[in-house]
C-alpha cells in the first residue's frame, strides 16, 4: 500500500515583495495580498482533496519568501539536505527550515561548506538520478559533493537565463506553455489551427527532452565538475 504523500506549505501571512533578487520582483509593484491568501487557501484545499496531507511551516515576519517551501531543503528518504541561500535576504529562513525538519523526524544534513544550494528548487530526482541546476542560485561542484554524500548520480544542468533562476521553474515551462495555449484557445485568442500547430511543436520538444533524459539514464556518465 502506498504511503500518503505529505506536502509542506507555509501560510502567506507575511508574503510580499520586500526586496528584488530576481527579474520578476519589483518593490514598486506589490503582490495583491488578499488574492495571494485566497490562492494559497485554494491550493491547500486542492492538495487535501487529492488525498495528500498538508504540513505547515509557521510564517515569520520579515521572511516573505518562506512560503516557497521547495527551497527549504532537498529531501531524500528521511534525510534532508538543508539549503544555504545565495542571497542574504533569504538566509534568515535557514534556521526555521532546520528546526521544522528536525522536529519532524528528518536527519538534517548541511550542504558542503562554501557552496550555495537552494534545495528542491535546484535539485530534482528522476528515478535514482539527481538533476541539479546550477549557475544562478546553486553551485555545480556543491551538487557533486551532495551526490557523493547521498550515494547518487548527479547530472548538472546549467541555467543560463536569469528569468529561470531555479531548475524547477525551468522544467515547469513546457507544462505552463501547454496550459497557456489551452487558455488562449478557450477564450478565443488563438485560432484552432494555430493552437494545433503550436501544441504540436510543444509536444515535439517534450519528446526530445524525454528522449534525452532516457538516454542519460540508460548510459550517461557522471560528471564531476562544473564545465
The three three-digit cell numbers of residue 44, written as one number: 491547500
Q: Are 91 and 62 in contact (CB under 8 A)?
A: no
What is the distance between the alpha carbons of residues 189 and 212, in angstroms, rounded to a whole number? 33
Instruction: Kindly provide the residue ranges of all beta strands, DSSP E only, lying in the chain, ordered along the sequence.
Output: 6-9, 53-56, 73-76, 79-82, 107-109, 123-126, 129-134, 153-158
| pLDDT at res. 217 | 63
Q: Could you tell me the pTM of the whole model?
A: 0.78
> Grid cell 527550515 — which residue?
97
182, part of any domain: no
27, with CB counted inside 10 A (0-12, 13-18, 19+), is exposed
The three three-digit cell numbers of residue 149, written as one number: 554524500
117, part of any domain: yes
| pLDDT at res. 70 | 95
205, part of any domain: no
Domain count, the chain: 1
| pLDDT at res. 107 | 98
CATH at residue 52 = 3.75.10.10
Q: Is the pLDDT of residue 226 over 50?
A: no
The three three-digit cell numbers of residue 130, written as one number: 539527481
DSSP state of 201: H
pLDDT per residue over 81-100, tens digit each?
999 999 999 999 999 999 99
206, part of any domain: no
41, part of any domain: yes
204, part of any domain: no
30, part of any domain: yes
| pLDDT at res. 213 | 66
185, part of any domain: no
Q: Is the pLDDT of residue 22 over 90?
A: yes
Q: Is the pLDDT of residue 211 over 90?
A: no
pLDDT per residue over 104-158, tens digit each?
999 999 999 999 999 999 999 988 899 999 999 999 999 999 999 999 999 999 9
- Provide the domain limits for residue 48: 6-171
Amino acid at each position: 500500500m502506498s504511503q500518503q504523500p505529505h506536502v509542506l506549505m507555509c501560510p502567506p501571512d507575511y508574503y510580499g515583495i520586500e526586496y528584488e533578487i530576481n527579474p520578476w520582483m519589483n518593490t514598486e509593484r506589490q503582490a495583491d495580498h488578499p488574492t495571494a491568501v485566497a490562492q494559497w487557501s485554494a491550493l491547500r484545499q486542492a492538495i487535501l482533496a487529492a488525498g495528500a496531507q498538508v504540513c505547515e511551516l509557521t510564517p515569520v515576519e520579515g521572511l516573505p519568501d518562506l512560503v516557497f517551501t521547495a527551497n527549504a531543503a532537498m529531501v531524500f528518504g528521511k534525510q534532508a539536505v538543508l539549503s544555504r541561500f545565495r542571497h542574504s535576504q533569504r538566509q534568515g529562513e535557514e534556521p526555521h527550515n532546520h528546526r521544522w525538519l528536525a522536529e519532524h523526524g528528518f536527519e538534517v544534513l548541511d550542504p558542503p561548506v562554501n557552496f550555495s544550494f537552494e534545495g528542491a528548487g535546484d535539485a530534482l530526482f528522476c528515478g535514482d538520478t539527481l538533476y541539479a541546476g546550477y549557475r544562478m542560485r546553486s553551485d555545480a561542484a556543491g551538487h557533486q559533493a551532495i551526490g557523493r554524500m547521498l550515494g547518487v548520480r548527479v547530472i548538472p544542468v546549467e541555467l543560463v537565463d536569469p528569468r529561470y533562476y531555479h531548475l524547477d521553474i525551468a522544467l515547469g515551462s513546457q507544462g505552463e506553455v501547454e496550459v497557456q495555449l489551452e487558455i488562449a484557445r478557450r477564450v478565443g485568442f488563438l485560432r484552432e489551427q494555430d493552437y494545433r500547430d503550436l501544441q504540436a511543436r510543444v509536444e515535439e520538444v517534450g519528446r526530445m527532452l524525454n528522449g534525452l533524459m532516457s538516454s542519460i539514464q540508460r548510459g550517461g556518465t557522471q560528471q564531476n565538475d562544473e564545465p
